[in-house]
Structure 1
Amino acid sequence: MSKKEIGQQPPLTLLSDFSDRNVYVGIMKGVIAQINPRLTVVDLTHQIPPQDIAAARFCLMNAYPYFPVGTVHLAVVDPGVGSKRRAIAVEFAQGFLVGPDNGIFSGVLSQTPAIAAVELTNFNYWRTPQPSKTFHGRDIFAPVAANLASGVPLKQLGQEIDPASLVKLDIGDCKQTTTGVVGCIQYIDHFGNLVSNIPGSYVQGKTWCVQVAGLSIPGGETYSDVKVGEIIALVGSHGWVEIAINCGHAHSQLQINLQDALQVLFF
């Protein structure tokens, strides 16, 4: 195995729905350490709701810009594990993505397109040529990611595939209108904030509101622009228009859900 010099190896990030109540994450880290104990491994989160590919897509899309070029991002939210869904590795301008081909990478690749992609068919880089049908994170993805971060070329990991064939997760479109922007809810965070797929750049320097579920919600800049318990729309740190309740839980209180439509109006 070709390895880069110590200190020059890129970090390897982990994202999953495994939680911290079992040993699955620790096992993957053990597999990575067996291949290269010098790698820096960063846990993005393991609290993705079970099988929630859309949430994983959003979290990874918003995390990758904060890592050095060359970082390997290993993401395992894989309800199709053991089925005919492809196991893949993808190169893009910022680094590499390793995981199932189920749309989990479509957020990242919507912002920075794939340069190359392979299906992980070379079992020489797996933990075992007979992987578990239920734990590809341990037997395929973790060892592949560790080898990739250690300098193994992408093309050695499997058969090249057309990046255009990668699965895209359909979360709805964001479209400009004559009076504003139409979009939908793409993510609900731990605080119950409802994050839309409308970039904050659309509302910069404008007076605006959000209309959703029969409500008209004023646009502001901080949660404290309204009183405790009141609703506000603002641009979150992730750069997307969101709906929040100051010191409240917008999702449970407003009963607005993923993919529900909304529109931003300018006036």
Structure 2
Amino acid sequence: MSPGVTPVITLLTDYGLEDGFVAACHGVIAGIAPEARIIDVGHLVPAGDVRRGAAILAQTIPYLPRGVHIAVVDPSVGSSTRRAVAIEAGGRVFVGPDNGVLSWAVHAVGGATAAYELTNEDVWLKPVSRTFHGRDIFCPVAAHVVAGREVAGLGTAIPPRELVTLPEPTSRLRDGACEGEVLSVDRHGNVQLSITAADLGFLGVRDGDTLAVWLGRRQLAVPYRDTFAAVPPGDLVAFTDSAGLVAVAVNAGDAAQRLGLPPGAHVRLSPART
């Protein structure tokens, strides 16, 4: 196990909570490393939404112990087009499919120092299902690492530069405005943008101001406040969320539905003209 890695395994998936998939993963880990503490980051990532999984893990990783972090959002599970990998980064170990779901979190802790394709079948659960690598490959591998297995013994070393990396969310300052995209939409319909509070601060925007929000050809005037509860129920509001990013919400409502803003949609913010 990497120096400094604690006996903690975190688990992020799109498995949902209605079936036994998450319980099976917990059971496999407990059978190999009963001393490991498991932290469920979440299991309600929209099915196959790799970017959403990557964003959740990257925004959560600063608050997690230096353990082994599993992320399984894996629409290409069982195919020959994607690898199963373990990545060492920032004193942590990341385990999952090489489809980019780990990439933003790896970058957030300083970048990969080593990477391995998971080819050592001795640490897999047998038989291996073609569609449940979380149970049969990723969780056993993570448990063996916590139990003392060296990461280098998990498989074949690969150059970190060959890992699949998701494109960074777009955000830029241009012509007195911030341009970005919808990074994610949470279960409340709050719309998280790739634009930071620092970006707005550069434009001179402060709490209490009003933003011009451009959605294609539509323009809205939205108050910028410290929380969504600062406006009456049913009203739109922009605020800085817990990740330091600008979010648009409806107090007691669903901003994504009202505005028709899916992940990836382009948004432009500027100080409203008085």
Match of 1:215 in 2: 219
**CA–CA distance in structure 1, aligned partners of residues 196 and 147 of structure 2:** 36
Query: Is the 2:212–2:271 contact (alpha carbons within 8 Å) kept by the matching residues of 1?
Result: no
Match of 1:191 in 2: 188
Match of 1:83 in 2: 79
Q: Deviations over 1:97-117 (max 9, x none)?
A: 100011101221332311111
Q: 2:117 aligns with which of 103, 115, 119?
A: 119
Amino acid at match of 1:158: G
Q: 1:225 aligns with which of 225, 230, 235?
A: 230
**CA–CA distance in structure 1, aligned partners of residues 37 and 185 of structure 2:** 29
Report 1:1-267 matches (<5 A): 9-68=6-65, 70-84=66-80, 85-111=82-108, 112-128=110-126, 130-170=127-167, 172-204=169-201, 206-207=204-205, 209-213=211-215, 214-216=218-220, 217-266=222-271
Q: Which runs of 5+ in 1 are unaligned?
A: none
Question: Deviation at 1:266?
Answer: 4.2
- Provide the aligned C-alpha RMSD in A: 2.1
Give the fraction of aligned pairs with identical amino acids, expressed as a percent: 34
Question: Deviation at 1:248?
Answer: 0.9
Question: Deviation at 1:173?
Answer: 1.5
Question: Deviation at 1:264?
Answer: 2.4
Closer/same/farther in 2, CA of residues 219 and 140 from structure 1, 3 Å limit: same
Question: Deviation at 1:243?
Answer: 0.7
Query: Is the 2:52–2:184 contact (alpha carbons within 8 Å) kept by the matching residues of 1?
Result: yes
Q: Deviations over 1:93-134 (max 9, x none)?
A: 151110001110122133231111111011111113x52111
Query: Is the 1:210–1:219 contact (alpha carbons within 8 Å) kept by the matching residues of 2?
Result: no
